[in-house]
Amino acid sequence: MPSAIFSTPLRAAPSSTAHALLGIENPLLDICVDADNSDVLAKYKLEANNAILAGPEHAPLYAEISAAPFKPLYVPGGAAQNTIRGAQWLLPKGSTTYIGCVGKDSYADIMTATAREQGVDVHYMVDPSVPTGTCAVLVSSGGKKRSLVANLSAANNYKPTHHRQPAIWSLVEAAQVIYIGGFFLTVSQESIMEIAAHALSTNKWLTFNLSAPFLSQFFQAGMEEASPYWDLLFGNESEAQAFAKAHGWTELVEPKVDVAAIADKIAALPKKNEARPRLVVITQGADSTVVSYKGERKVYPVKKVDPVKVIDTNGAGDAFAAGFLAKLVLGKSIDECVEAGHYVASEVIQRSGVVFPSEAPAI
């Protein structure tokens, strides 16, 4: 039976949550449209339920779906920005900050205004030479299918000179918990290491997300450099399996994947801040969430949602991290953090896109 460590607060409750949670990664403006009564999928040779990176042939798509007869819904996206927006939904006003790189265009203006309306204090680096990163979200089959076409563009161009500016660095210093999305490994390793070193020197929580299996496969060197700084690591079962394979932990993936053992092994990897044991949280979709901490593990059943109500599970992992981080900021226990993660994920999967209810959360 798990010990009291899972019901003990992870940190002291803060006297203030102002700018307490900082996120950094790749901002994309999601442009969501109903594609059911349009030939847009066929025109651009897109599958109804798929996710791809944009090629040159997709360049006109974004302007096309931003104009009539389409009625676009603009959502500030990118995995970590989704998580920060979700955490802000649970937290007092002014609790979150987010940085990344955008272009100098109307999409950046829309993303800035929308994120700030939702309470996130965004401070984007602006690269006027390229467009803001966008993701076309073409919804069909009455909301059941989504074709995603991502154009990373400016999101790829973040430079550490941005957060070195005194005005931005003051926000880094104000943060109590820092969240770096794994996709940032493809953009600025130098920035990751600078922020990680700051977290270590100030005893702040540095939290990270494995984000996608390909990152463990193709960006292993960057991940290896950053991993000793991880105080909290999120991932799902596919990402945990890829991480284990990249590290040669064959016995944990063949003939059967042992997610709990992988979580334990990641938790036990070398760590810079020895005063705080690493906490590893692995989600498994509708299956139980596995947590490894201080040499112990606990398995949490997921909050069940009526399958009829499930519309879109794409943002479930980002939403889980949002709930968990919000409660971590507030100084809650692992039990409470996981409960909040499951709650936010259960809300998001009942909507198309990573969109949070307008009403106040029930936790």
What is the H or E stretch that residue 99 is in?
strand 96-99
**Which residues are part of the catalytic machinery?**
318
Q: Cβ atoms within 10 A of the Cβ of 241, count?
A: 21
Q: Cα torsion at 122, 324, 308, 32 (round to 10°)?
A: 10
Exposed e or buried b per residue across 165-187, where buried means at least 16 C-beta atoms within 10 angstroms of its C-beta = eeebeebbeebbbbbbbbbbbbb
* Dist CA 357 CA 301 (whole Å): 23
* Dist CA 189 CA 235 (whole Å): 19
Angle subtended by helix axes 166-174 and 189-202, to nearest 10:
50
* Dist CA 34 CA 32 (whole Å): 7
3-state helix, strand, coil in the chain (%, to 5): 40, 20, 35
Backbone angles phi, psi at 282, to 5 degrees: -115, 120
DSSP 9: B
What six digits make up the tokens of 90?
């649970």
What six digits make up the tokens of 160?
């550490």
What six digits make up the tokens of 44?
């651009």
DSSP 360: P
* Dist CA 324 CA 32 (whole Å): 27
78 touches 4 (CB < 8 A): no
| Residue whose tokens read 């989704």 | 82
